[in-house]
A and B are shown apart, each in its own frame.
Chain A
Amino acid sequence: MKLGFLVDLNLCMGCKGCEIACKVENEVPLSSWRLRVKYIDIGTFPDTSRSFTPLRCNHCENAPCERICPVSALHYLDNGIVNIDSDRCIACAGCIMACPYGAIYMDPESNTADKCTYCAHRIEGGMMPACVVACPVEANIFGDVEDETSHISRYIMEHQGAVQVRKPEKFTDPKHYYVGGGNNTLNPLAHERIEGYGLFTNITTLKHVGDPNHSMLDRFNPFGHDEVDNDSFMDFEQQGQDSKNEKGGH
C-alpha cells in the first residue's frame, strides 16, 4: 500500500475549507500551516485569471527530510506516509533545510518540527484526511496509488499526460499529484511576490521560528520575558495600530 494525494486544480475554487479543516483537526497553532492554499493571479486587468494551489507535504518516496533527520523523528509508515514523532524531534531544522517543498515548519508551541501527516491518525481509524472530507468540490482525491482499482489510481489513469508533481527534478518521487497544474502554479520561481499586490497587504514575515522566548539562552535571561501563546497572536488592537503606522498599512 502506498497512500497518495491528487488535487485537481481545475476543480479547486480556493475556498480554503481544507486549510481550516486541517488546522482544526491537527490543532495547528496560529502562524503555522500544514496545508495552505496559494492564490496566483495571471494576466493584466481586465484579462486576468486566478488559480488556487493547495500545498502540503508531498510524502516523497525518497524523502530528503527523512534522510537528513538525525534521530529518525521523521520516518516512513508501512502505508508510505512520512510521519513525524514530535517527542523524538530535537528541532535541529535539518528537515526544513532539506524539504524542497517548504512543507515543514517549526511548531511555536511544541518547539519541534511538524508537517502534514496525511492525517495518519484518521487513516489508522479508517477515516479520510480532514481536508478530503472538507473539500466541497472533491478536488482532493486520496487513496492507494498501488491499488489500480482505487479512485486515485483511476483518476490518474483517466488523466494520463496531465498529471504532474512539483519539482520532479529533485528525484524525491512525491506521492502528491496535481491535475490541471501549470508552470505558474507549480513552479515557485515562475511567479513573483510583489509588494502591494496581495489581497491582504499586511502579511509580514514571521518574527519567530519556534518560540523565541523558550530558547536555551533565554532560560538564562535574568530579566524574564513575555509569555507567548496563541492569545499573544490575537492582540488585534495593538497589531492594527502597528499596521497603520507601517508603509502601505490600513
Chain B
Amino acid sequence: MIPGDGAGGALMATVALPLAGSLLAVVLGRHGAQVAGGVALGVGAAVAVLAAQVAGGGVLRVDLGGWAPPLGIALMADGLAVAFLGLGAVVMAAVVAQAAALFSTRGGESRAGYGFWPLVMVLWAALNLTFLSRDLFNLYVALELLTLGAVALVAIGGQAGPLAAALRYMVFALMGSLLYLLGAVLLYAAHGTLDIDLLAIRAQPAPPDLVAAGLITAGLAVKTALFPFHAWLPPAHAGAPAPASAVLSALVPKGSFFILWRLWFEAMPDLAAPPVLTLLAGLGGAAVIYGSALALMQGRLKMIVAYSTVAQLGYLFLVFPLAGGAGAAQPWEASAWTGTAFQALSHGLAKAAMFLAAGLFVMAVGHDRLEGLRGLARTMPMAVFGFGLAAVALLGLPPSGGFTAKYLVMTAAFASGQVVWAGVLVVGGLLAAGYLYRPMAALFADAAPGPLTPVPRRLQALPLLLAGLAIGLGVASDAPITFLAIGRPDAAAEGL
C-alpha cells in the first residue's frame, strides 16, 4: 500500500472516466448515448479491477497530486466504498441502456437528448467521488455536483409539474449544502484540516466540533430526505423520466448518507452521544412509518415507488444507535453496520429495477395510474416479474438481499436490547407489503390491458436483471459480507 503508486489508476478511473465522458458528450451532442455506453463499460472494468486490488491488498489510498493531507486531498477505497461503486456501476449500466432508447438522438440532436447524457455522467462521477473522498471540502464539491446533476435531471422532462418539483428540490438541497459547508468551515477553523482520518485524531467533544457535527448532520439529512425533510423527494423522483428516477432514487440519496456514515463512524466516533443517535434513528423510524403510510395512499405507481424510497432510506438511520450506543464492544454491532450496508445495496438494486419497470409500463400504457396497469403481466411478463422480484427484496423476504439486511439489523436490535427498532422493521415490512400489494394486484389482474405501445424485450430484461441481483445478494451473502469488512472502522465493531 504505497500512497499514489500506479495502483491508483483504477481508483481514479471510476471518477475520471464519467467526467471525461460528460465533457465529450457536451461536445458531441448526438453521440451522448454511445459515449455513456463506453463509460459504463470502462467504469465497470475499473470497479472490477479495484475490487480485486482491495480484496487482495486491503484498503487502497491515493494522495492526489502526491500531496498528503492536510495539504492535499486523499481518496480511499475500502470494502464499503468499492461495494457502493459496484452498485453504481450496475445501476448506471442498466439506466444507460434504457435511456438510450428514450433519449435517442437518431433524428438529430434534441434538447432532452442533448442534456441527459452530460448530466447523468457528471452525476455519476460525483457519486463515485462521495464514496471515495476522504476530505470534507472535496466531498462538498462532490455533493454540489451531485445535486446540480440531480436537479437538472428532474427538470429535463420539460413539463410544469416536474419543473416545480425540481425547483423545490434545489431549494432544499442548497439549504442542506449551506449547513454542511458551515460545519466544514468550523471544523477547518478548529483543527486546520478537513481530512477524515486526521479529524478522527483531532476531534473532541468541544463546542466547535459539536456544532459542526450538528450542522453537517442536518445538511446531509436534508439531502438524504430524512423525515421531516422528505417533502421534496416524492414529486421530484416521480416527476423525472424513468431512467433518471432510477438514478435519483437508487443512488443519489446514498451519496449523502454515505458521508453521514463516514462522519459518525470514522471522523468523529467519540462525539456520538446516545440521545443524538436515538434522535437520528427515531427520525429514520418515523420516515419508515410515514413514508409507507403515504405510499399506501398514492394512486400513481411512480409516486408509490418514490414514497417507498422515503421509507426505505429511514431504515438506514437505525444503524446509529444499533452499531454503537450504550453497550460498547458487543459482537452484534458489526452486524448492524453490515446489515445497513446490505440494506443500502439491496434497496439500490431493487429501487432501480422498480423505476425502470415503471418506465416501461409508462412506455406501454402512456401513464402510470394504477387502474391503467391492470393485466400487464400478460403482455410484459419479464418486466412485471422484475418488478415482483424487486418487491420481494424491498419487503425483505428470503432469500433476498433485503432479507439479509433486515436479519442482520434485527439481530443487533434484539441482542442489544433495543427492541423498539426491531418493531420498526416489522411494522415497516407489513406496511411495505400493503403498498406493494396494490400495484402487484393491478399488474396481475385477470384483465385484458387496453391498446399498448410495444416495448422491446431487451428493455424488459433490464429490471429483471437488477432485481435478480438484489435477490442474488441474499443468496450469496457470504462473499459480500467478507468484502465489506475490508477496512471496516473500529467504531463499527466497538460501538460509537
Asked if A and B are interacting partners, one says no
